[in-house]
Amino acid sequence: MKTKFFDRKKLIIREFSEKDLRNVRKFQAFINSLIEEEALINLNKKLSLKQEKKWLEEQLRKIKSHKSVYLIAETNNMVVGTTQIYLNEGRGEHVGNFGITIRKGYRGIGLGSYLTDEVIKLAKKKLKPKPKIIFYSDNTEVDKFVSGTSNDLEIGKTVIVTGTANQDGSVTAQSIQIRPAVTNFSQ
């Protein structure tokens, strides 16, 4: 447990523990405050006390089995931020997924950066196997490839070619990926 100041706000930063199951309401109030403000999280309907307790119990199970680390930022017994890294299951168990949520009024003061650094350190120390941490968001481009044939190739399409370079400068292709046109969203 650490006490830190962010923009003159005194916060306690600590790991989630079994004791937290005795005070599910503060976690329910936290997540429901994010849902109410329509923060960019996966949930869009407020959680009941029973739903929140079930979710917290699952987090504790993952923590005990070294498949998750979970940090809390709080002040005056009110949760103002959480962050977590959890491992995928099965063959992807070496990949860690990161999430962070910060209550309105506590954003933009460095809390998110601090929690991110701390949860990564904790994950490297406690998770088994050691994860490869991948940061992504709703803005991350995800490509899904399907098999094609030479009939899918067209002049003017962007492609990535893997193969062997010939002496005349041409390439004998082993594989060709057809890439979508790049769109500039920054305008």
Report yes or no on 110 lying in a domain.
Answer: yes
C-alpha closest to that of 60 among 95, 24, 31:
24
> In the structure encoding, which two tokens stand for residue 74, read together?
């709080």
Domain check: are 126 and 165 in the same one? no
Name the residue with higher pLDDT: 131 or 73.
73
Tell me the pLDDT tens digit for each residue of 143-183. 667 788 888 887 777 777 788 887 877 778 888 887 766 54
Domain check: are 19 and 97 in the same one? yes
Q: Exposed, middle or buried, 27 (CB in 10 Å: 0-12/13-18/19+)?
A: buried
How many folded domains does the chain comprise?
2
Report yes or no on 144 lying in a domain.
Answer: no
Amino acid at 70: Y
Report yes or no on 109 lying in a domain.
Answer: yes
Q: What is the structure's pLDDT at 180?
A: 66
Report yes or no on 100 lying in a domain.
Answer: yes
- Reported pTM: 0.69
Domain check: are 90 and 55 in the same one? yes
H or E stretch including 163? Answer: strand 158-165
Tell me the pLDDT tens digit for each residue of 83-111. 999 998 888 788 888 899 999 999 999 99
Assign residue 107 the CATH number of its domain: 3.40.630.30
Mean pLDDT for the chain? 86
Task: Residue 172: give the domain boundaries.
Answer: 150-179
> In the structure encoding, which two tokens stand for residue 52, read together?
């929140």
Q: What is the structure's pLDDT at 55?
A: 93
Mean pLDDT across the stretch 64-78?
95
3-state class of 138 per DSSP?
Answer: coil
Report yes or no on 49 lying in a domain.
Answer: yes
> In the structure encoding, which two tokens stand for residue 76, read together?
């005056």
